[in-house]
Amino acid sequence: MGELRAQSAGVVAVLMLIGVAIVGIVHARHVVRYPARVVGTLRTSGLHGDWDRQDGNEMIGQMTWMQRTIGTVSRPFTDLEARLWSVVVLAYLGFGYWLFNYALPGELSADVNVYVVRPAVWGGLGLLSFLLWRRVSDRPLAEKTFLLLALLAGAFSVSALICAGILFGFGHSPYARDAVLMAKNVWYLSTFILGLEMSRSYLMAVWGKVNWGLAFAVIALIFAAIWLAPGQFENLTAGDQGSLHTFGRTFMPGISESIMATFLVALGGPLPAFIYHMSLESFRWLSPILPRLDWTVAAFVGTLTPAVAMLIVRDVYFGSQADEEAAGEDVDEEESAKGHGISPLVLFGGSVLVAAIWLNAGMFGVTPYLVSGPSMQPQLGPGDIVFAKDVAAESIEVGDIIRFSTEGYGYVIHRVVDIDQAPDGLWFTTKGDSNNVEDPLVHESRVEGKVVFDVPYAGWLPIKLKGLVNP
């Protein structure tokens, strides 16, 4: 059965790659090559009116170095065509995630899975997205300055990790040190990141025209989720200490890096985001030592560093555009407005993320926890967030709601119905408001805190995610 499933997944992957090749062949019929055929094609296409050779030469002279490097343009998509193809790209992304996290694990050898099938699928996604992206009108193309800034942003992020390692210590990398395996890892990484950033760029180019801010937020979330394995989603929605660690160490830095990458593709296309992500991941995969950080430090560094890097890129790049504008050179007003307008959003988002880290670490005196079961209804229901405060056991009274650990059942949030004093300390009798029986006695050493207030439905999304990941 497992072999059949692996073979079926492989057939689907091959069919998808064949589909990409067909799209490329059909797409090639619409391609116009610069500069040799630009004038003649523009004359006959009827898309741009009457052109003469002088007009064509002027346009060629105005092309950026990136346009000359790519060397081709195509008949632009209509808005409807572009959006329909974006659904295909999203479906491809979802298929890739399902294939490598659910269908193939354990069915293929690690080498075949990681170094053959994955590069083929993600490379196919990159090729498909590139062919589609070229046919989006007004797509962003990065200048050399912006590419350099993307590289510096990656170097800044790596430097922040190294500084954190110097302060808190280093550990050995879990990745292979053999030269051949390192080369294979670079091959896998480059195809994976290329596929993600090329598809991210296409989706942002299409949906950014509809609602730039909403598209930015949704795309950043989607691609942050792609980096998470199903097990990490389960940890994230478990509602225990492990979910707190996953949220701080993995999810929040992933969101921050995804926001940075989405910012880069929104203003410069796929190449700046590829440079940024590739430089960061190359350090993580190829360095013989990596920072050994507590989850709170990892969350702090991993979340703030991309946000600060984005502000630096924004200020330097748009500061140079302001200088050009002052010198009388043409500047894209729409892109400039987007770049300047994102700064308050970044500052607000960064502040919220940092506050969330500190809140989850208990730095404000209370710690949030997710209610995942119905035992405390009607006062507390699934999806509510409760905030517990560490208090002395003697201050807990009958009627208080406490969070405590149990043997075999993890952590429980129930109400105290009785308290007994014993030579070895206080013992609490607890019961869920909607339960018919009391819990086993809880010693004061197992009490994690007293619930001081709650926010109804604030954790509804993690509950739903848990249902989707582990139905």
Tell me what percent of the residues of the chain surpass a pLDDT of 90.
33
String of DSSP letters for 17-83: HHHHHHHHHHHHTTEEETTTTHHHHHHHHSSS----HHHHHHHHHHS-HHHHHH-EEEPPPPHHHHH
The pLDDT assigned to 202 comes to 95
| pLDDT for residue 144 is more than 70 | yes
How large is the C-alpha radius of gyration of the chain?
27
- The pLDDT, as a whole number, for residue 96 is 92
Confidence check: pLDDT of 86 > 80:
yes
Specify the long-range contacts of residues 122-125, CB closer than 8 Å, at least 24 apart.
Answer: 122/96, 122/191, 122/192, 122/194, 122/195, 122/196, 123/191, 123/194, 123/195, 124/16, 124/17, 124/20, 124/92, 124/195, 125/89, 125/92, 125/93, 125/96, 125/195, 125/196, 125/198, 125/199
Position 34 pLDDT exceeds 50: no
244 or 279, which is more confident? Answer: 279
Q: Report the alpha-carbon distance of residue 107 to residue 109 in Å, rounded.
A: 7
pLDDT above 90 (res 83): yes
**Has residue 56 got a pLDDT over 50?**
no
**Residues 137/202, Cβ–Cβ less than 8 Å:** no
**Residue 329 pLDDT exceeds 80:** no
- Region 220-235 average pLDDT: 81
Q: Is the pLDDT of residue 39 over 50?
A: no
Q: Which uninterrupted H or E stretch holds 135?
A: none
Q: Decide: residue 55, CB within 10 A, 0-12 exposed, 13-18 middle, 19+ buried.
A: middle
Alpha-helix runs per DSSP H in 134-208: 144-168, 179-207
Stretch 263-269: mean pLDDT, rounded?
Answer: 91
Banded pLDDT at 234 (limits 50, 70, 90): low
pLDDT at 186 over 50: yes
Q: Which CATH number is 366-469's, of 3.40.50.880, 1.20.210.10, 3.40.1260.10, 2.10.109.10?
A: 2.10.109.10
- Sequential DSSP letters for 314-331: HHHHHHHHHHHHHTT---
Q: Are 222 and 207 in contact (CB under 8 A)?
A: no
| Residue 365 pLDDT greater than 70, yes or no | no
DSSP string over 200-264? HHHHHHHHTTT-HHHHHHHHHHHHHHHTS-HHHHHHHTS-SHHHHHHIIIIIHHHHHHHHHHHHH
Q: How far apart are CA 172 and CA 79, in angstroms?
A: 50
Give the pLDDT mean for 195-214: 93
Q: Is the pTM of this model over 0.75?
A: no
Determine the pLDDT at residue 263.
93
User: With bands split at pLDDT 50, 70 and 90, how would you rate the model's confidence at 281?
Assistant: very high
**Whole-number average pLDDT of the chain:** 77
Q: Please report where in the chains the tokens 């590739």 appear, as a residue.
A: 278
pLDDT bracket for residue 241 (50, 70, 90): low
pLDDT at residue 64 is higher than 60:
no
Residues in Cβ contact with 265 at an 8 Å cutoff, skipping those fewer than 6 apart = 140, 197, 200, 201, 204, 205, 272, 273
Strand-strand pairing, 289-291 and 425-431: unpaired
**Letter for the amino acid at 354?**
V
SS3 (DSSP) at 402:
strand
Strand partners, 412: 404
DSSP state of 420: E
pLDDT in tens, 299-327: 888 888 898 888 888 877 776 554 555 55
Q: How far apart are CA 269 and CA 129, in angstroms?
A: 12
pLDDT at 276 over 90: yes
Residue closest to 16 by CA, chosen among 122, 136, 130, 134: 122
Token pair 């296309």: residue:
269
List Cβ neighbours of 44 (8 Å cut-off, separation of 6 or more): none
Residue 278 near residue 193, CB atoms below 8 Å: yes
Query: In terms of C-beta density within 10 A (0-12 exposed, 13-18 middle, 19 or more buried), how is residue 50 classed?
Result: exposed
Q: Give the residue extent of every domain in the chain.
A: 366-469
Q: Are the beta carbons of 132 and 81 closer than 8 angstroms?
A: no
Average pLDDT over residues 87-108: 89
CB atoms within 10 A of CB 230: 15
Sequence length of the chain is 471
Give how far the C-alpha of residue 80 lies from the chain's centroid of Cα atoms, to the nearest Å: 27
